[in-house]
Amino acid sequence: MRRMALLLTLAAGLSLMAGFNVPSLPLPTPPLPSQAQKAAEVLTKTGTKAMQAARPLSDAEEYYLGRAVAARLLARYPLYRDPEATLYVNQVGLTVARKSSRPHTFRGYHFAVLDSQEPNAFACPGGLILVTRGLLRMCATEDELAAVLAHEVAHVAHKDGVSSISQARWSEVLTTAGAEAARQYGGGVAGAVLNLFEGAVEDVIRTLVVTGYSRQAEEAADREAVSMLTRSGYQPGALAAVLGKMSGGSGGIFRTHPPTAERLARVRSVSRETAPGPKDRVRAERFQRVKF
């Protein structure tokens, strides 16, 4: 289980590296063979194994999966170590997240800035959202920053990252961990479960970095993002402004979030601009003070 411990330890380190005030949870201690045998016997006798194999991930499992995904992403993109920028992005992100259809996750939403000029953002399962300096620099206002973060929060709320995991793979994780533990505990089942877990992480990474979400998932995230912006007091048209800047680009978010004319028109149709007020001036000044 050393590889899994290492993977989760890296993920747990995200909270410290990003300056989050989140308590680190202890890594689970592998049970003794006798404990695994007893657990497997209970699973086999009660038939719980079959039920588990069909169930979705729990919130806690989603959280740990998201930490592992974030750890992999941090191996590709270094963190931007600016406490002021990190705090600011978290404040804006949490403001819109509280107005989402899923305002609370297992350990809450957390946002970090990646020190990369590639314009990109990643919504890890469970509520860890990573956004690059390159994408932040595309934003001209705090409202546009809120729009970017709201869209990523919507992917978490809809569990789009989890949905990218092969259902057959997840069922096999549970089946292997249950039925085979008594007979193969040690190198057999531990290695098999770890390989399957790493495969699940790779499923999510592939979606975030290479293939992107489906058109339906992107449109649903757009709709919820506009709703979050409106309910949070931000300009709902900010999302359309950001999408408009994404036309014609290549690489990064341009590859995984390609905005179509139809998608942009749909967002504009549900975005009603509100008259500028005193808060807009405050937000503009606040945004200008932060260096991305």
Helix (H, G, I), strand (E, B) or coil at 188: helix
What is the domain class of 77-163+213-289 according to CATH?
alpha beta
% of the chain at pLDDT higher than 90: 45
Task: For residue 123, list its beta bridge partners.
Answer: 129
- Most confident listed range (25-34, 192-201, 259-268): 259-268
d(CA 49, CA 45): 9
Q: Report residue 218 as tokens.
A: 């992107």
Question: Do 130 and 115 form a contact (C-beta atoms < 8 A)?
Answer: no
pTM, full prediction: 0.74
Going by pLDDT thresholds of 50, 70 and 90, the confidence category of residue 25 is very low
Domain boundaries, the chain: 77-163+213-289
CA atoms within a 13 Å half-sphere pointing along the CA-CB vector of 18 = 32
d(CA 206, CA 121): 14
% of the chain at pLDDT higher than 70: 65
d(CA 18, CA 186): 35
